[in-house]
Structures are given as structure tokens and as C-alpha cells.
Amino acid sequence: MSYYILWGSIGVIFLILEMFTPGLFFLNFSISAFICAILALSIKALTMTNLIIFFCVLSVILIFTLRPMLIKRGNNQTKEQSGIEAKYVGQIAKVVENVDKEKGAISIYDERWQARNIEEGVIEAGCQVEIVGYESIVMKVKKV
């Protein structure tokens, strides 16, 4: 029987599953299945039992070696800032209405934004603050 067609089909199924799920989990099974298909095509003496054992062992090895490397590489890629983060975070703004943990307002680029102090206390109107983050339309600030 031509086991390589079966293993190739299994590899495609796992590849499709990987496209619809996060985490790079099914990719390991897909790679293992494709390698089993190549082995089944090139070595005719392999039985289905041998291929299943090889598939299981190779899958476990890939889960513990390849997956962590791919996840680490994905996390190390630099994320480019866009939108509010690129324009406002890290900038200095002027307080136009006293800012505390519950209310307040700042002005930056001639725009008025709601603001909240991330530190204890009240920041008086007229002071300068640094924008350290945002949540929806509210800027998180700290006194400079």
C-alpha cells in the first residue's frame, strides 16, 4: 500500500489546522507527517507501525525543540508603534484640568485629552506631564 499518500494527507490536514489555531502546535505534527510521507516513499520496507512510532517520536521532539524556538523568535521581533502609541506615548503634555486617578485633562498638539495620574496625588493645572500609556481615549500620565 502507498503510505506516503496517507501521510501527506495527514500533513496537509495538520497544516490546515495550524492556519486556524494560534500557538504553532499543529505545525510540529504537520512536519512529522510530511517526513513520514518522504520516508514511506523512499523506503518501501517500512511498515505502518514503524511510521506511526517514528511520527510520534518526531512529533514529541519537535514540540520540545522547534516550537519554543519559533515562539521565541516571534516574540523577539520588534513591534512597530502605530496610531496613538507612536504619536503620544513618551511625549510631554500640559495639564489643563487637575489630574488625579479618577479625572483630569491634558493638552497636546492643541488637542484636549482625558487623563489619569498613574502615581498618587493630584497634578495641578499648568504642570507638565509625560504620557506613559493610554486606555481607550484616556491618557495615563505622570508628572515630569
Phi and psi angles of residue 140, each rounded to the nearest 5 degrees, phi first: -95, 125
Residue 82 has pLDDT above 90, yes or no: no
pLDDT for position 73: 79
Fold of 83-143: OB fold (Dihydrolipoamide Acetyltransferase, E2P) (2.40.50)
The domain locations on the chain are 3-76, 83-143
pLDDT digits (tens, 9 = 90+) for 85-117: 778 899 999 999 999 999 999 999 999 999 999
Give the Cα separation of 89 and 73 in Å (integer): 26
What pLDDT is stored for residue 70 in this prediction?
A: 84
Query: In a 3-state reduction of DSSP, which class is residue 106?
Result: strand
pTM here is: 0.53
Quote the DSSP letter at residue 23. Answer: S
Measured CA to CA, the distance from residue 25 to residue 62 in angstroms comes to: 10
